[in-house]
Structure 1
Amino acid sequence: MIRRFVGAVAAALALLAGLWLMIAPFALGTQPEADDWIDATGTEFFTGLGVAVIGLVGVAAFAAAIHEDLVARGLVTVRQRAPEPEPIAQPAPAGTSSAELATMLAPLVEALREDLTTTNGHRR
């Protein structure tokens, strides 16, 4: 368990170091203002970005390992998700049969079919 905590702390420090590398050229004034990035700025920024991403992945992995270990020891319980309720079907308006619905929807279906067969006013 202590190894996982040490790993998480080391990964968090790597994340912080990567973030510092990303902002250092601007915070320390080595990057001229209102200018294109110099080579050193680009190198520091993208190196810091890589280190920060690896640190973030490490923190997430160690946090997941710590959680798994706590669950295995019975110190943390995993809550089960409640099943989502089934959607309730809306009934058709009273006195409407399926034949009447088909008759009402036929013009809409025809308009959609025509719209799909034309592109910019030209038939495909």
Structure 2
Amino acid sequence: MSIINLQNGNFQIPDKIVFSKDKNYNDILKLVQPNKIWDIQNGYKWIYFDDIEIDKLFFHIGVCFYNDKLFCIDFSFTEKQEKNLTWDNWNEKEEVNRKETYDKWLTKNMGSKRNFEWGKVSAYFDRKAGSSSIVIKYQ
């Protein structure tokens, strides 16, 4: 199953919801129960979903709104549910490998194109945060 619609940038969580540019922050909150909400108090609001199983992978998804409009979706996945992650069991080499896994996943699921009329998609490694993920940034 493809969770990213390449025609319009919609992002679908199976049996849950489709995130699209025409839905605002309050629309989403009416449809689903997130794991966590974070209002940064500067126009940005995040809605988080953990351990969403899609195609035998466990996704962690952050949906960001700016002034209540969809701004970006940041997500990562693992092959098994990961609990109790700490800096003690973190390894930079493994995190860089995870970023490479995300690049391969994008190529398998989307091909090589990453820029679209509706936005762009990329995998990244953030050394300061010690994490890797995929981001869909909408225009």
Q: The TM-score by the shorter chain falls in which range? A: under 0.3
**Structure with the larger strand share:** 2
Higher relative contact order (CA 8 A, sep 6+): 1
TM-score (norm 1): 0.22
TM-score (norm 2): 0.20
Q: Which has the larger radius of gyration?
A: 1
**Structure with the larger helix share:** 1
